[in-house]
Amino acid sequence: MAAVQKTEKAIPEDFGIISYDEIRWFSMLKCPVTAICQPTGRIGTMAVDLLIDRIEGTLDGAPKEILFDAELIIRKSCLKGGDTGSANRGQG
């Protein structure tokens, strides 16, 4: 974002910004940042549970593939005109 500010371009009019991870202060920026929010708490809990099961011998075989849903939080950083409409869950 700082690099864009050094040009004559603007966010979101000329560039869209999306982050793959939600950071609490994103909604507080002059141009709040759109984010793909991953459930890090659930991912960590599942990883620990699987590790304990592997150590205790109750889980064996090939590694598991586990998918978690992510959430798109639409904010002004990727919308021309800054209109978040009804799709917005985050502030800004």
pLDDT at position 83 is 54
Q: Per-residue confidence at 82, pLDDT binned at 50, 70, 90?
A: very low
In a domain, 51, yes or no: yes
- Chain-centre distance for alpha carbon 30: 18
Q: Per-residue confidence at 91, pLDDT binned at 50, 70, 90?
A: very low
Q: Specify the number of domains making up the chain.
A: 1
In a domain, 61, yes or no: yes
Domain enclosing residue 76, as ranges = 2-87
pLDDT at position 49 is 94
In a domain, 82, yes or no: yes
Contact assessment for residue 90 and residue 32, using Cβ atoms and an 8 Å cutoff: yes
In a domain, 92, yes or no: no
pLDDT at position 47 is 94
Q: Calculate the average pLDDT of the chain.
A: 80
pLDDT at 5 over 80: no
